[in-house]
Amino acid sequence: MGISDYPYSMQCSSCSKTIRYMRYSGMSGMSPHFYCDRCSNIIFRDCDLKLLYENEPSEELLERIASTLPNCPCGGQFAPGNNPKCPHCHTEHPHQHDPLARLSDPFVIKVEGADLLINPYGSLPPPE
Ligand SMILES: [Zn+2]
Ligand SMILES: [Zn+2]
């Protein structure tokens, strides 16, 4: 992948290095999506999208989704409230909205080196 894959950049508030990233919303928005607690990988699943369609966004729904989110390949855990991190110093860059409001945030922020995992277990939640 080349630098042009990451059209946006910002300066890290912690180490002052440049963080390149892309904003991704797919065809009709990528909500809900969740970040890993250890790296900046993102997960997006059709099963969560379906739940969001069928239910009003609520803390209960958030917990229900959170309880089925798998681990990240890095060993971390995907969970609501996690954020993209600086690829240089790993400082987390907080989002302006709370986890509940972010359920319907269509924009994935994919920083340099992060992966976007779409339906890593097919369209179903992972087995218990
Ligand atoms: Zn940094
Ligand atoms: Zn991870």
How many whole angstroms separate alpha carbon 69 and alpha carbon 81?
Answer: 13
How many of the other CB atoms lie within 10 Å of CB of 37? Answer: 17
Quote the mean pLDDT of the chain.
Answer: 90
Question: Per the structure block, which two tokens stand in for 13?
Answer: 């508030």
- For residue 111, the surrounding DSSP H or E stretch is strand 108-111
Which has the closest alpha carbon to 4: 16, 18, 21, 17?
21
Q: Is the pLDDT of residue 27 over 60?
A: yes
Q: How far is the CA of 76 from the centre of ligand 2 (A)?
A: 5
Which ligand has its closest atom nearest to the C-alpha of 90?
A: 1
Is residue 36 classed as helix, strand or coil in its secondary structure?
Answer: strand
pLDDT in the model for residue 124 = 58
Is residue 85 classed as helix, strand or coil in its secondary structure?
Answer: strand
Taking residues 26-36, report their average pLDDT.
89
* Residue 119 binned pLDDT confidence (cut-offs 50, 70, 90): very high
Domain locations in the chain as residue ranges:
3-123
- pLDDT tens string 71-93: 999 999 999 999 999 999 999 99
Which ligand has its closest atom nearest to the C-alpha of 114?
A: 2
